Amino acid sequence: MRAVHHLTLPRALHPGAWWLWALGLAVAASRTRNPVLLVLILVVAGFVVAARRGDAPWANSYVAFLKLGLVVIGVRIVLQALLSTRSQGTTVLFTLPQVPLPDWANGVKLGGEVTAEALVTALYDGGQLAVMLCCIGAANALASPRRLLKSLPGALYEMGVACVVALTFAPQLVTDARRIRAARRLRGRTRGSFRTTAMPVLEGALDRSVELAAAMDSRGYGRTAHVPRRQRRITGATVLLGLLGILLGVYSLLTEAMAVPVAGAALAFGVLLATGAMAIGRQRVTRSRYRPDPWALPEWLVIGSGAVAAATMIAAAARGVEGLVLPGPLVVPVVPLLPVLGILAGLAPAVAAPPLTRRRELVPA
């Protein structure tokens, strides 16, 4: 019996698959304020990030978004404590000094009694937004923003330079923050004020993003072929209408502004319209790709896991499953089984996504 090294070829998953998976988890988080389900979504996203993140600078974005989520929760609780009224609950915890307001602000208070119901409600609302932000942070930690831009359809190449600045700003923010902290430690400074740390971080991240955009522009990124003006206008208008349909459908699904069938129909119509326009717009771009990112079975499995989580939560909300919306802030949350199973399906990328590093296994000969 002898050992043979079996090498599994690693590769980076398509960045679009990571973003669609993360958006699926964000949609699932938008359908509930149950703290147990929100924490479960957060754990699922964090586990996948820990299992499949690489060594790139943006791989630490998830921790930064976790801190941002804590800030969002803190701000939400403080505002609720300052502006809440007695009608939001009867369990008074403490009383703040109340500031008298003019007559035109009747019905609004600043300070006064703070109830437990108001603070718990603020905690749940802020936790929902924080989990959605962390899902976006998971996509930033797993997907390369530059590789995502390479996958943009031809009709959106003119937006590529602006997208570079937008998508690389958050990863560069994390990288510059680590660089500045390391430089301060080397100088023997363990503490720093917000002014001396935040401004260099923001300035450096924005400068690097603009430099990358300028480099892409100087190399002809988004160069287009000659196309009649009428075709360009029709393609642009169709893409815009399709994107508006997608935004309307996603907004309606997140906020329940429309019935689920109507929102789904608007989303499907927008996707079809935008896809058709982008396919036509590819004729305008004369550009070849070196080693394009593959789209294979792992990408479909990753997207499917996020879609299952989102669809399960949407179906549970439509059927009125008990536990998604708590009857009161001081009620012990009920854990529904179906949403839990749907959220756990989001763990599939931890196994289905290919590893980023070469793995050695001992196989008996």
Residues 167-183 pLDDT 10s: 666 666 777 777 777 77
Mean pLDDT of the chain: 76
State pLDDT tens for residues 65-117: 898 899 999 999 888 888 776 666 778 888 888 877 777 766 677 777 788 88
Q: Which of 109-123, 160-174, 284-298 has the highest mean pLDDT?
A: 109-123
State pLDDT tens for residues 244-269: 777 777 777 666 666 667 777 777 77
Q: In whole angstroms, give the CA distance from residue 41 to residue 38.
A: 5
**What value does the mean pLDDT take over residues 192-220?**
69
Return the residue matching tokens 């070829």.
Answer: 9
Q: Annotate 1-58 with DSSP letters as a single string.
A: --EEEEEEPP-PPPHHHHHHHHHHHHHHHHT---HHHHHHHHHHHHHHHHHH--SSGG
pLDDT given at position 289 = 58
Among positive and negative, which fits the CA dihedral 65, 67, 73, 75?
negative
pLDDT given at position 358 = 46
Q: In whole angstroms, give the CA distance from residue 325 to residue 331.
A: 11
Where do runs of H (alpha helix) occur along the chain? 15-30, 35-52, 61-83, 116-142, 145-150, 160-186, 194-218, 229-255, 260-281, 297-319, 337-344, 349-352
